[in-house]
Amino acid sequence: MDPWYALGSGDMLEVAAMGLHVGQMTSVDAMRACFAAVTANPARILGLDGYGIAPGCRADFVLLQAQDPVEAIRLRATRLKVFRAGRLIAETPAATAALHLEGRPPTVNWTAHGARTKQTATKSWDRPEL
């Protein structure tokens, strides 16, 4: 649990979601800023050596079931895989929703761009259309 906030879970996406509501930061740019506030910015402020996903970096990261930061916060994205020093240490199956309605598809993918055939660690949040 969260040692600094009695009602928290230690989940930084939860912190970002709460912060954007409390701060009325609901524009796309503000939501991206909230995501950055719980990911890259703290590492940059702390001056962590080898932070990031690039050759020579530690490769500590969480692969989310989302196409971009806004979607990650909006959907409370499933943490698909967790890597520490480039080594997979935890994984969770992708979240899916099943429908039982005649004439409707049997499953729903809530991500903005639908199902992907493979998982990637690209920076899709840099796309201007989102």
Query: Which stretches does DSSP call E strand in the chain?
Result: 61-64, 79-84, 87-91, 97-98, 107-108
Residue 81 has pLDDT above 60, yes or no: yes
Domain ranges of the chain: 12-109
CA end-to-end span of the chain: 33
Residue 127 has pLDDT above 50, yes or no: no
- CATH architecture type of domain 12-109: Roll (2.30)
Nearest to 71 by CA among 113, 37, 38: 113
Residues 6+ apart with CB under 8 A from 9: 1, 2
Residue 49 has pLDDT above 90, yes or no: no
pLDDT value for 4: 75
| Distances from the Cα of 58 to the Cα of 53, 54, 63, angstroms | 8, 9, 15
How many residues belong to the chain?
130
The answer to whether the predicted template modeling score (pTM) of the entire model surpasses 0.85 is no
Of the listed ranges 13-17, 47-51, 78-82, 112-116, the least confidently predicted one is: 112-116
pLDDT (mean) for 86-92: 95
pLDDT (mean) for 25-50: 90
pLDDT (mean) for 35-64: 88
Three-state SS at 24: coil
pLDDT value for 73: 93
